Amino acid sequence: MGLIDFQDALRAHPSWDLHSLLQDARRDVSPELEQASLERYFELRPEVDREAFAKAYVALAAANVTRIMGIFARLIVRDAKPRYREFMPRMWRYLDRDLATPGLEGLDAWFRRHAPSDLREAA
């Protein structure tokens, strides 16, 4: 079980809490568990447009993962907190999974060009 951080208690897209829970920086969530959880969500909310929700889910998840990696990079470099480095490979896996989604090819290509896998390992 995870806890959802309501931080500023703002309204966001319904997928925000799900991707925050299912792509958590501190624990691995398998693609199978992520998919099963999404399926359960759709079972409980049959009125939701699955296609539109799925598009928003991966786009917002990719944006959030990228944001979190930026925060972790700052904590590692500027604030001398190297323990955040251990979370980066997991976040890259989540981002790669999100960017493999049709429609995000351009963003995937950008990351492959500017942050290739060999540089990710060195970071």
Confidence band of 1 (pLDDT split at 50, 70, 90): low
Question: How much is the mean pLDDT over the chain?
Answer: 90
- The pLDDT tens digits of the residues spanning 24-81 come to 999 999 999 999 999 999 999 999 999 999 999 999 999 999 999 999 999 999 999 9
Full-model pTM: 0.85
pLDDT of residue 30: 93
109/93 Cα distance (integer angstroms) = 15
Domains of the chain: 30-122 (3.90.1200.10)
Confidence band of 4 (pLDDT split at 50, 70, 90): low
Number of H helices, E strands in the chain: 6, 0
